[in-house]
């Protein structure tokens, strides 16, 4: 099960789909994958949910498709028979949780308070859905849950949008976010596949929130670095000397020699480095082993900094968690 939860994290946003016509499921699957969100939680709010799950998987075999709004064991069985890879419920149903554990089906039961979280932990389930997220306190309550329940990660659903998804994405105890805004009923009924794809792309962009933090400039040696920094000072940029570099304000780092990159490096902020690495891999970028820095214990906590193995315009890139 561990691998599938890594996939949840890497995708980041799980579209929550309520589909009335299963004949539209394949086109919807293509639109989501094209938009960078190869996943779907198909809710059992409609009669054709199982049929839609089957159609989406057939159309996009590598897509992560599961079932949502699963209220009882019968629905869970029906969903898994159709090919669902995971089960999500709006609340905590011990019968559904027990069935999923028995049948080795990943599940995220819905919770909204510490008692429900404790009940899930007692079952050995620590990946949980917060619903309805915004009405229950959003990412702020998830921050609060992080203290007493450090072993848990959450999928907030309900009220998550392009405007606030970045705030959710930067929380280290948030596994992924669930959302309906890219698959609203009128978009599906109107076959607005290109529009759905664009909304997904905008959501992915907001989730990562890539931003240049500073530019690193390579020089020949320390004397050369001081000369460059002094010239920047003419523009009112404050000079701050460090061991290996000189910062001219917070935006420019002048290296005391040849650092990474032909010309230097760019420090790029993002909300979650592991998720960003999964996204960038499809474009040929991979982490450079040995450049990792961790937020806590090495290998057991989120990455704080890592370099990528490809340059852009002569500049090496290092990702930094915002």
Q: How confident is the model at residue 54 (pLDDT cuts 50, 70, 90)?
A: very high
pLDDT at 206: 98
Q: Beta strand pairing status for 293-294 and 303-307?
A: antiparallel
- pLDDT mean over 128-148: 96
The pLDDT of residue 297 is above 90: no
- pLDDT mean over 209-235: 97
Q: How confident is the model at residue 31 (pLDDT cuts 50, 70, 90)?
A: very high
Enumerate residues 6+ apart whose C-beta is below 8 A from 196.
28, 31, 32, 35, 182, 183, 187, 188
- Classify the C-alpha dihedral 160-166-167-171 as positive or negative: positive
One of 129, 134, 253, 256 is an active-site residue; which one? 129
Nearest to 234 by CA among 216, 258, 212, 252: 252
The verdict on pTM exceeding 0.85 is: yes
The pLDDT of residue 1 is above 70: no
- Classify the C-alpha dihedral 135-138-143-146 as positive or negative: positive
Q: How confident is the model at residue 86 (pLDDT cuts 50, 70, 90)?
A: very high
Active site (annotated) includes residue 129: yes
- Classify the C-alpha dihedral 38-41-44-50 as positive or negative: positive
pLDDT at 298: 84
Q: Which residue has the tokens 């609203």?
A: 184
- pLDDT mean over 187-208: 98
């Amino acid at each position: 099960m561990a691998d599938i939860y890594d996939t949840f994290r890497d995708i980041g946003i799980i579209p929550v789909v309520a589909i009335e016509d299963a004949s539209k499921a394949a086109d919807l699957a293509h639109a989501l994958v094209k938009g960078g969100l190869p996943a779907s939680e198909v809710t059992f709010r409609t009669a054709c949910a199982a049929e839609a799950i089957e159609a989406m998987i057939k159309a996009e075999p590598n897509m992560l498709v599961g079932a949502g709004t699963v209220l009882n064991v019968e629905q869970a069985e029906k969903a898994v028979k159709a090919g669902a890879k995971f089960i999500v419920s709006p609340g905590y149903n011990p019968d559904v949780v027990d069935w999923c554990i028995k049948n080795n089906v990943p599940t995220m039961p819905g919770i909204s308070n510490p008692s429900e979280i404790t009940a899930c932990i007692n079952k050995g389930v620590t990946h949980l859905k917060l619903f309805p997220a915004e009405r229950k306190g959003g990412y702020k309550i998830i921050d609060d849950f992080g203290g007493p329940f450090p072993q848990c990660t959450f999928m907030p659903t309900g009220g998550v949008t392009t405007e606030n998804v970045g705030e959710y994405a930067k929380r280290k105890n948030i596994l992924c976010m669930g959302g309906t805004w890219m698959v609203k009923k009128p978009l599906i009924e109107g076959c607005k596949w290109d529009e759905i794809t664009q909304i997904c792309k905008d959501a992915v962009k907001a989730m990562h929130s890539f931003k240049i933090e500073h530019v690193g400039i390579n020089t020949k040696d320390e004397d050369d670095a001081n000369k460059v920094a002094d010239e920047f000072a003419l523009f009112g940029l404050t000079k701050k000397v460090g061991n290996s570099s000189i910062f001219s304000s917070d935006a420019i780092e002048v290296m005391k020699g040849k650092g990474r990159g032909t010309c230097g490096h760019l420090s790029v902020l993002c909300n979650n480095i592991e998720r960003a690495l999964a996204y960038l891999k499809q474009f040929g970028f991979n982490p450079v082993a040995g450049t990792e820095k961790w937020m806590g214990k090495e290998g057991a906590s989120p990455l704080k900094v890592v370099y990528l193995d490809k340059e852009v315009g002569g500049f090496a890139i290092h990702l930094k968690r915002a």
